[in-house]
Amino acid sequence: MNEEGGLPILPFIVVSLILCYFGLEVNRQRNKLRSIFNVFDREESEIADLLEQWVEDGDLKPFGGWNPN
């Protein structure tokens, strides 16, 4: 199986599969936590900062709440 001077391919395949599984599991857990805690990602944070800047500049008025009466 091992040729002279060759590298064993099976350990590389096994390590690659383990790393792929680990990456997918981390991504799955991150998405699960984001859905539970509803945290902002980078794009949503930039949008929120822009909206706050518009309110400070007076270009946009903050929503005071909904009153059905």
Average pLDDT of the chain, as a whole number: 83
Nearest 5°: CA angle at 37, between 34 and 38? 65
Predicted local confidence at residue 60, as pLDDT: 80
Q: pLDDT, tens digit, for every residue of 20-49?
A: 999 999 999 998 988 888 767 778 888 888
Maximum distance among all alpha carbons in the chain?
Answer: 85
> 0.85 exceeded by the pTM?
no
Task: Let me know: does 60 contact 54? Beta carbons within 8 Å.
Answer: yes
